[in-house]
Amino acid sequence: MDLICIGDSLTFGYGVRRAQRWTTLAEEETGWELHNYGVCGDTTGGMLARPRELLRQLPGRADERRFLLMGGSNDIFFSGTSANARANKAAMALLRCLP
């Protein structure tokens, strides 16, 4: 199974050696292929801007992809509220239907 991981520095594994990132460890444990698309400092607004192009570039069939979205803490940090993060995550869930 392919798991597409989209998120911020927690997804990316900031400050952690590649061999010790959670995505690498999860690959070894599960045998799944994890694609780490974490960007340090990203907000859900940034994550929402990237998926259309990302979805076109991903390997495999769209119906075989699974997504893990980890983000929102930077939105809260910068704005003091989770409202934008919740709205952006809802919009990203709808992008799964893109061709």
Query: By residue range, what is the domain housing residue 9?
Result: 2-95
The 10s digit of each residue's pLDDT in 7-25 is 999 999 999 999 999 999 9
The 10s digit of each residue's pLDDT in 38-77 is 999 999 999 988 877 777 777 667 677 788 889 999 999 9
Which element (helix H / strand E) includes 7?
A: strand 2-7
The pLDDT assigned to 94 comes to: 77
Is residue 64 left, alpha or beta, with left meaning phi > 0 and alpha meaning psi from -120 to 50? alpha
Which one-letter DSSP state was computed for residue 32? P
Mean pLDDT over 80-92 rounds to 92
**CATH code at 20?**
3.40.50.1110
Task: Give the chain's domain count.
Answer: 1
pTM of the model: 0.82
